[in-house]
Amino acid sequence: MHEKVVGAALPSVLALSYIGDARHSLYVRTMLVKRGISKSGELNERSLHYVTAEAQAEAYGKIEDKLLDDEKEVFRRAYNSTHLNKPKRASGKDYRTATGFEAVIGMLSYIGDEKRIEELLDIAHSDEGDKNDDSEN
């Protein structure tokens, strides 16, 4: 079992979003491999449909009402961070939402709550079974 670590005991929200970005990417890569995709070029191309700021903002919308208070707080702090460098292709709102989404996943990874990560990411990607994919789940 993991111990809850909150507030000042956590790394910065930008450090958490860095961890969350990697953890979300691993989830997506594993999901695609489980669908039977095995060519690295195709895996890389398809993973881009899930890891962009726009896609992560959409994924957050699916889990928003499922978040616990500490998760909401980390999201809020990351969303409101003043140290964000928005990429050219994302709206400011999508980029801030994606950063918050990543920070939540990063916090859960940092405290070792893999069960909660899987629960939230399964919900976030639950209706994407064949999205941009010709193979079966």
Rounded to whole angstroms, the Cα distance separating 21 from 24 reads 5
The catalytically annotated residue of 21, 65, 69, 130 is 21
The answer to whether 63 and 124 are in contact (CB under 8 A) is yes
Rounded to whole angstroms, the Cα distance separating 135 from 60 reads 25
Rounded to whole angstroms, the Cα distance separating 79 from 84 reads 9
Residues 6+ apart with CB under 8 A from 42: none
CA 1 from centre of chain: 22
Residue 21 designated active-site: yes
Residues with active-site annotation: 21
